[in-house]
Structure 1
Amino acid sequence: MATFDMNDRKKIGIGLTGFGVLFTFLGLIFFFDKGLLAMGNILFLSGVTLTIGPKSTLSFFLKRRNYKGSISFLAGFFLVLFGWAVVGMIVQAYGFIVLFSGFLPTVAVFLYRVPVLGYFLQQPFFLSIFDQFRERRVPV
């Protein structure tokens, strides 16, 4: 059985990633607040880098099949940093979906096992949505 080595660097990285998601969510709630969105982006990227390592992060973003997602994600990141919050978040959301759509089945399995949330996600409405994503996914 494989064990997941959880050292302090990975713990800090997961915390930064979580705070990045939180700040981005708050930035969206507060009508695309540029400061919160920029801080969320910086925390998210630094958290991912600390969690999986700088070399793995660069190889993930520079893979040939991830070019489209990486370019749009980073373009949206810089648009948010330079003050174009709405346009930047739209471009960044597209890049995020393209980059991380391969992880959606893993996330779905995890969410199915969360006690209360899993019950609601296993209802026919949500299962039909997840099935549509599964059908669109192209094997690599």
Structure 2
Amino acid sequence: MISQNRTIGIGLSVFGCLFMFIGVLMMFDRPLLTMGNLLFLGGITFLLGIKRTKTFFFQKSKIKITSLFFLGIFFVMIGWTIIGLIIETIGFVGLFGGFLPSVLNFLRFVPGIGTITNHSVVKKISNFIGKKQELPL
């Protein structure tokens, strides 16, 4: 059973991604992007817990990638949205790229989305991405 903190974390992370998506659709609206970033970080903290979040973000091998991620968030907050999103995306892929194969394998079994991910072109790309099966935690 999922604990209450994890349920809140999933909700915050989903809303954070939704706000980020809407912020990009609204021509890089700074308040929406900032709110999405904060909700996403809060969701990750609720999902993992404070101690595991700290160890995930501040590992010695990932400190440069973490600094890129947080620098991108800072640039979005001060108003340099496009530059901030580019830097933040590089940091995001560096930090959470290890989770991508697991997410792709999960999406293959979701009704509706599974038909898209099982399409021949998307399947070739997802099989290429999903070759490494190790989680970063």
Residue identity opposite 1:68 in structure 2: K
SS of the equivalent of 1:71 reads: helix
Task: Indicate whether 1:19 and 2:36 are aligned.
Answer: no
Which aligned runs of 4 or more in structure 1 are off by greater than 3 angstroms?
Answer: 137-140
**TM-superposition CA deviations, 1:11-46 (whole Å, max 9, x none):** 111111111111101100000000000000011001
Q: Distance in 1 between matches of 2:32 and 2:83?
A: 15
State the match for 2:86 in structure 1.
Answer: 90
Task: Indicate whether 1:65 and 2:58 are aligned.
Answer: no
Q: Within 5 A, what are the aligned runs for 1:40-119?
A: 40-119=36-115
**TM-superposition CA deviations, 1:47-100 (whole Å, max 9, x none):** 110111011001000112222321111110111111111100010011111111
Q: Distance in 2 between matches of 1:97 and 1:78?
A: 17
SS of the equivalent of 2:27 reads: coil
| Number of aligned positions between the proteins | 135
Q: CA deviation at 1:138?
A: 9.9
Residue identity opposite 1:74 in structure 2: F
TM-score (norm 2): 0.90
SS of the equivalent of 1:113 reads: coil
> Cα distance 1:138–1:65, how it changes in 2: closer, same or farther (>3 A)?
farther
Structure 2: segments with no counterpart, 5+ residues: none
Asked if the contact 2:68/2:88 (under 8 Å) is kept, the reply is yes
TM-score (norm 1): 0.89
Asked if the contact 1:12/1:47 (under 8 Å) is kept, the reply is yes
State the match for 2:119 in structure 1.
Answer: 123
Q: CA deviation at 1:134?
A: 3.9
Structure 1: segments with no counterpart, 5+ residues: none
Identity of aligned residues (%): 39
